[in-house]
Amino acid sequence: QKEVEQDPGPLSVPEGAIVSLNCTYSNSAFQYFMWYRQYSRKGPELLMYTYSSGNKEDGRFTAQVDKSSKYISLFIRDSQPSDSATYLCAMSLNRDDKIIFGKGTRLHILP
């Protein structure tokens, strides 16, 4: 079982829809969770991070962590064509531990 699992997609949704992106993980000791956005032929950029369980909201983006289910989610409200990108989840055990990345989910927002 891989440490971090993420459906590669592609996921196509109409503009304005709510998007749900997810990752599951096997190591219950992970504490730090991140979401990165990567546009085509660009490097990843940090969208959001959360520590331990709970929700975090930033504009149209909400990150959720469910440690009991070992499941994290990123929701995008009022999706825009500019949200079309690959979204990578990432996590680590402790502050100084290496970061484990998911494979990424390709998202297409259809105008």
The site for other proteins (CB under 8 A) is made up of 4, 6, 8, 32, 34, 41-46, 49, 51, 88, 90, 92, 95-99, 101-104
Cβ-based nearer residue to other proteins, 72 or 104: 104
Contacts of 24 (CB under 8 A, 6+ apart): 4, 5, 69, 70, 71, 72
CB of 23 to other proteins, least distance (A): 11
DSSP 86: E
- 101 secondary structure, DSSP code: E
Rank residues 70 and 103 by Cβ distance to other proteins and give the closer one: 103
CB of 92 to other proteins, least distance (A): 6
Q: How far is the CB of 49 from other proteins (least distance, A)?
A: 4
* Closer residue to other proteins, CB minimum distance, 14 or 58: 58
Per-residue H/E/C for 13-66: EECCCCEEEEEEECCCCCCEEEEEEECCCCCCEEEEEEECCEEEEECCEEEEEE
